[in-house]
Amino acid sequence: MRTVLVTEKLREETIQEFNALEGYQFLYKSFDETTEEERNQIDTVIGFPKKDTLEQLPNLKWVQLLSAGANQYTWLPEHILLTNAFGGYGKGIAEYLIATTLMVQKYLPTYLDQQKEHNWTRHTFVKTIEDSKILCVGMGGIGSEYLKRAHALGATCYGVRRTIHDKPEFVEELYTMDTFDKVLPEMDVIALCLPETPETIHMFNKERLLKMKKDAILLNIGRGSAIVTDDLMEVMKEGHLLGAVLDVTDPEPLPQNHALWNTPRVYITPHISGGFSTDANYYNVIAVVKENLLRVRDGKEVIHSVDRKLGY
Catalytic residue positions?
A: 223, 252, 271
Q: Measured on CA atoms in the order 170, 173, 176, 181, is the torsion positive or negative?
A: negative
Cα(247)–Cα(230) distance, integer angstroms:
17
Helix (H) or strand (E) holding 168: none
- Phi and psi angles of residue 279, each rounded to the nearest 5 degrees, phi first: -60, -40
Cα(93)–Cα(276) distance, integer angstroms:
11
Compute CA distances 103 → 33, 107, 203, 261, whole Å.
Answer: 44, 6, 25, 18
The residues near 73 (Cβ < 8 Å, ≥ 6 apart) are: 63, 65, 82, 306
Q: Shortest CA distance to 254 belongs to which of 234, 280, 227? A: 227
Compute CA distances 26 → 1, 16, 292, whole Å.
Answer: 10, 10, 15
Q: Shortest CA distance to 219 belongs to which of 204, 238, 237, 198? A: 204
Terminal C-alpha separation, the chain: 29
